[in-house]
Amino acid sequence: GIQVEQSPPDLILQEGANSTLRCNFSDSVNNLQWFHQNPWGQLINLFYIPSGTKQNGRLSATTVATERYSLLYISSSQTTDSGVYFCASRNSGYSTLTFGKGTMLLVSP
Amino acid sequence: DAGVTQSPTHLIKTRGQQVTLRCSPKSGHDTVSWYQQALGQGPQFIFQYYEEEERQRGNFPDRFSGHQFPNYSSELNVNALLLGDSALYLCASSGRRVNTEAFFGQGTRLTVV
């Protein structure tokens, strides 16, 4: 099946800094999603982005499907951005999500 | 619009017991998938239900079984619980087409002692 790799595994930032999280996938995909897992475990949808670029406030994401990667940008980070960020993708022809291992982000005041 | 809801939120069971977890999908969704997330790991796919049938299954033993009801809600059953089954169990719902966004419930945290 498809392999999803995220980098970096851990990231520590000062409040106000910018960051880029990367997601590589091993095969063509027809869906890619970014999630933020809150401290209680719920996965919060950030972006549904099989290709192209989207922006939502301080967050934006870009997926280059032909090169099999996606990037999540966080600008002017806040302490509330702390948590684990996951990307997940679906194989073409399948409808289940394969997750990466996540990036643990800690934003300090 | 109610999102995906799961119950219970927390559960403690003894090794060897059986457990049933429940999930109601987001309004308008008819496909339910279950995932297991161990501490420090990404969610792992268990199985997916569509039209009351198991459509796909991940690499989990037969002790894990499920059901989908006519109203699209779903149950996950685990028999003969092992200590290693302790995890966060997440339910996701999506539409019937392949290229649709999945939404997750808040999860059920299962502890096996």
Across the interface, do A41 and B107 touch by the CB < 8 Å criterion? yes
pLDDT at A90: 86
Whether A101 and chain B come into contact, CB under 8 Å, resolves to yes
Residues 6 or more apart whose CB falls under 8 angstroms from that of B88 comprise A41, B36, B37, B107, B108, B109, B110
Nearest in space to A70 (alpha carbons), one of A92, A94, A91, A86: A86
Strands B44-50 and B53-57: antiparallel
Superfamily for domain range A4-108: Immunoglobulins (2.60.40.10)
Do the Cβ atoms of B67 and B50 come closer than 8 Å?
no
Considering only CB atoms, A50 lies closest to which of B37, B94, B99, namely: B99
Whether B104 and chain A come into contact, CB under 8 Å, resolves to yes
Considering only CB atoms, A31 lies closest to which of B41, B92, B99, namely: B99
With CA atoms as reference, the chain B residue closest to A37 would be: B106
Which chain A residues contact residue B54 at CB under 8 A? none
**Whole-angstrom distance, CA of residue B30 vs CA of residue A87:** 23
Instruction: Report which residue type is found at A66.
Output: T
> A10, A36, A54, A96: best mutation site toward chain B, by most B Cβ within 10 Å?
A96
A94 pLDDT more than 70? no
Scored b (16 or more CB within 10 A) or e, A67-92 reads ebbbbbebeebeeebbbbbbbbbbbe
Selected residue with higher pLDDT from A27 and A52: A52
**Whole-angstrom distance, CA of residue A33 vs CA of residue A26:** 15
Whether A56 and chain B come into contact, CB under 8 Å, resolves to no
- Where do the structural domains in chain A lie, given as residue ranges? 4-108
The DSSP output letter for A80 is G
Which chain A residues contact residue B33 at CB under 8 A? 96-97
pLDDT at B1: 65
pLDDT in tens, A44-69: 999 999 999 999 999 999 999 999 99
With CA atoms as reference, the chain A residue closest to B55 would be: A95
* Mean per-residue pLDDT, B45-49: 95
* Mean per-residue pLDDT, B38-63: 94
Residues 6 or more apart whose CB falls under 8 angstroms from that of B109 comprise A41, B9, B10, B11, B87, B88, B89
**Paired strand residues for B24:** B5
A93 pLDDT more than 80? no
> A32, A36, A37, A95: best mutation site toward chain B, by most B Cβ within 10 Å?
A95
Whether A35 and chain B come into contact, CB under 8 Å, resolves to yes
Nearest in space to B102 (alpha carbons), one of B90, B112, B86: B90
Instruction: Report which residue type is found at A13.
Output: L
**Please, what are the domains in chain B?**
5-112 (2.60.40.10)
Whether A65 and chain B come into contact, CB under 8 Å, resolves to no
pLDDT at A86: 98
